[in-house]
Chains A and B, each alone.
Chain A
């Protein structure tokens, strides 16, 4: 079954990723809606991060097609692009499961590095900037304003001049999202953004993601184990198990999907009906 998406920002078609004898992703197809929050869930080792790495160019898929679509109708075939061009041209940004900040640089500097490409252009590839041309100064001001905007949204303004490595864990997570947003993406891919957050921080994250979707018109694709986040804010959920898609639908559909429950609870295929029955009973009583 495939959930119907009217206006996809990303389509994945027949994606296969093979590592030697292991088929990590097996004929996976799904769409990500332009203004949706889409969650990719599944038990450990289901191939979620592999899918992410294929989308963001860190792996080249063995087979399949990954297309990013912009509003104007521009199409980008991500599986053929260099990894650094995916955020730069196709506007698909990502964060990492194990946070990757520039720890020795300040919060503001991290956000400025996120805007490297427009700033580089404004500095005429350094030649204008080194002679202090006014064009670059203006561009830098605009970049600082954008950085300030995201610091406000993530509550990091007070820590603007502190080293990123000095921030507590939850703030580092937020900074990584803010930094990715500074690349002005059309699609933001988050790899376990709520991992290691306490309930309050995880609520703040929910709010931030909803804000990004609503105000910034950015699609969000996230891998998450925290069901509070997944069920609370997702519009669309895709469930993977052993590299295969086992379910694809709205949170309500997924919550009641027998194969998902089986995959999470580890039930043999022939017992699925039994489990399904039990759930129905439980719901009616």
Chain B
């Protein structure tokens, strides 16, 4: 009896032949449209110019592979009997990841911090890795800054790079015209960027959603174009060079006597300054994180989150939403200003080229990918985005393709970002994470 029960096709596991055939034909057509043009034809440089090489066979194999792959999916995954989940694999992975991340979650942030502190002294750390981590930390800081505006206050800001530019140019210009040092300019750059945050804030107070996004996008472009065209003052497209380097409590990183290496009796090495820069940006980023975490527990931080949840309810409770929005823009802008002046001093040269829209988009992508409002998420996303960008440097022109594909996959897998739960700012008995389904996304999403 048991034999007969097990033999033959399982009940309900059957293929809907016409449906599958239709699907495969559509697949073949789409694959032909994509690969027919990109793979079947290739230009080769030959004597006297370009020659078109036709590779129908290669294109055919690729298309066939796609169709066979789709057929295999139909045979082994999509033909499950009704009632069982069609996407069983991903859900099991999902719950597994949730379990692991819950375990890892607690220790993750301290581990990362310790790793970040000892990183420059590890044996495998070289100049390249240090430079890369400085870059990653800059984006971590920018991500944390933008997180205040987008993640907490829920105001979609597509022109965040403007504040980064303001910070960078503030330092460069103050140093050039008045000879101010880095340490003097750092707070000034922050204050100026915060001030511009308020200037941006005023016109967008009444705007919601898409309109808010468009105006902030325009603001970013206006700042860049002013920098580009105000030749006498900003140097226009030539940029500003010879930006002074920061000193370590008055000690310059030079070979000369009285420099850092000389003072501590070390042999001069250019890596000293890089390590110093690393710790400088690490300290600035941690300051951003510390201040943001602190602000979240203060009435202002709760007001930001309340604004993201429901603006009308805020006003009905006596919150002045105007000042709530302006403080979010100002404080978010301030941290970008700090990061900007660090960028200027690290590069020694800045030009409007560095502050294009793609930078804003990258920072926003980090915040969204990390999970809006999540501090740890921003770190993971920055490492993935900036580090991933470097890993795939070999892939040359396919880099953006891989990158885009990865983003799409992650957004399908975790639509609310990698870390999508919200930790309450205050609790009575037990700190319970709030699931992303409850948390509003604010304006412009």
Enumerate chain A interface residues (CB-CB to B < 8 A). Answer: 56, 58, 83-88, 93-96, 100-106, 108-109, 112-114, 116-117, 119-120, 123, 126, 129-130, 136, 144, 148, 160-166, 179-180, 183
- Closest chain B residue to A118, Cβ basis: B299
When chains A and B are docked, how far (Å) is the Cα of A126 from the Cα of B429?
26
B318, A85: Cβ atoms closer than 8 Å: yes
User: How many inter-chain residue pairs (CB < 8 Å) link A and B?
Assistant: 137
Contact of A116 among B302, B310, B425, B431 (CB under 8 A): B302
* Residues A123 and B298 in contact, CB atoms below 8 Å apart: yes
A-B contact list, 30 entries, CB within 8 Å: A56-B316, A84-B321, A93-B316, A96-B312, A100-B313, A101-B309, A101-B313, A104-B422, A104-B439, A104-B440, A105-B434, A106-B424, A108-B426, A108-B427, A108-B428, A109-B305, A113-B302, A113-B314, A113-B317, A113-B319, A114-B317, A116-B303, A119-B298, A126-B300, A144-B426, A148-B428, A160-B429, A161-B429, A164-B438, A183-B318
Assembly CA distance A166 to B308 (angstroms) = 17
By a CB distance below 8 angstroms, the chain B residues around A83 are: 315-316
Cα-based distance from A109 to B310 in the complex (angstroms): 14
CA distance A117 to B323 in the complex (A): 12
A161 lies within 8 A of B428 (CB): yes
Find the A residue at minimum CB distance from B308. A104
A163 near B302 (CB under 8 angstroms)? Answer: no
Q: Is the CB of A119 within 8 A of B440?
A: no
Most chain B C-beta atoms within 10 Å of own C-beta, residue among A88, A108, A116:
A116
5 further A-B contacts with Cβ under 8 Å, apart from A84-B314, A101-B313, A161-B431, are A93-B317, A94-B316, A101-B309, A102-B310, A104-B305
Of A103, A130, A148, A180, the contact of B439 (CB 8 Å cutoff): A103
Residues of A within 8 A of B318 (CB): 84-88, 116-117, 183
Q: Distance (Å) between the CB of A177 and the closest chain B CB?
A: 12
Partner of B299, one of A101, A120, A148: A120
A179: nearest residue on chain B (CB-CB)? B317
Q: How far is it, in angstroms, between the C-alpha of A102 and the C-alpha of B429 when the chains are bound?
A: 20
Q: Which of B302, B305, B422 has the most CB of A within 10 A?
A: B302
Closest-CB distance, A218 to chain B (whole angstroms): 15
- Check B257 for interface membership: any CB of A closer than 8 A: no
User: In the complex, what distance in Å separates the CA atom of A5 from the CA atom of B298?
Assistant: 42
The contact of A180 among B295, B306, B317, B430, by CB within 8 Å, is B317
Does residue B432 face the partner (Cβ distance < 8 Å to A)?
yes
From A110, which residue of chain B is reached at the shortest CB distance?
B306
B291 interface residue per 8 A CB criterion: yes
Closest to A131 in B: B294
Given A84-B320, A100-B310, A148-B428, decide whether A119 and B299 contact each other with a Cβ distance below 8 A: yes
CA distance A87 to B313 in the complex (A): 11
| CA–CA, A162 and B427, complex, Å | 9
On whether the beta carbons of A129 and B435 are closer than 8 Å, the reply is no
Closest Cβ of chain A to B429, distance in Å, is 6
- Determine the distance from Cα of A161 to Cα of B303 in the docked complex, in whole angstroms: 18
Interface residues of B in 346-382 (CB under 8 A from A): none
Instruction: State how many angstroms separate the Cβ of A53 from the closest Cβ of chain B.
Output: 11
The answer to whether A84 and B315 have CB atoms under 8 Å apart is: yes
**Nearest chain B CB to A260's CB is how many angstroms away?**
30
Q: Report chain B residues within 8 Å CB of A105.
A: 302, 305-306, 309, 424, 434
Contact residues in B for A117 (Cβ distance below 8 Å): 318-319
Partner of A130, one of B295, B302, B427: B295
State whether A161 and B432 are in contact (beta carbons under 8 Å apart), knowing that A56-B316, A88-B318 are contacts in the complex: yes
- CB-based contact B424/A109 at 8 Å: yes
Q: Which residues of B contact A56 (CB under 8 A)?
A: 316
B299 to chain A: which residues have CB within 8 Å?
112, 116, 119-120, 123, 126, 129
Set of chain B residues within 8 Å of A96, measured between Cβ atoms: 312-313, 316
Cα–Cα, bound, A117→B315 (Å)? 12
| Whole-angstrom CA separation of A114 from B439 in the bound complex | 18
A112: B residues at CB distance < 8 A: 299, 302, 426
Bound form: Cα–Cα A58–B311 in Å? 12
Contacts of A58 in B (CB 8 A): 312, 315
Provided the pairs A85-B318, A161-B431, A163-B434 are in contact, do residues A113 and B424 lie with their beta carbons within 8 angstroms? no
Return B323 CB to nearest CB of chain A, in Å. 9
Name the A residues within 8 Å of B316 (CB-CB): 56, 83, 87, 93-96, 100, 180
For A109, list chain B residues within 8 Å (CB): 302, 305, 424-426
A163–B305 Cα distance when bound, in Å, is 13
- By beta carbon, the residue of chain A nearest B331 is A126
Q: In the complex, which of the residues A85, A94, A96, A120 has the most CB atoms of chain B within 10 Å of its own CB atom?
A: A120
Chain B residue contacts of A166, Cβ below 8 A:
438
CB neighbours (8 Å) of B309 from chain A are 101-105
- B240: shortest Cβ distance to chain A, in Å? 33
Q: What CA separation (Å) do A163 and B432 show in the bound complex?
A: 9
What residues of chain B lie closer than 8 Å to A114, measured between beta carbons? Answer: 317
Residue of A nearest to B290 (CB): A130
B443 to chain A, nearest CB (A): 15
Q: Give the residue name and chain of the A residue nearest to B431 (CB).
A: A161
Residues of B contacting A129 with CB < 8 Å? 294, 298-300
Contact A102 B319 (CB under 8 A): no
Give the CA-CA distance A132 to B210 in the complex, in Å.
Answer: 38
Docked pose: A96 CA to B314 CA in angstroms:
12
A164 and B305 alpha carbons, distance in the complex (Å): 13
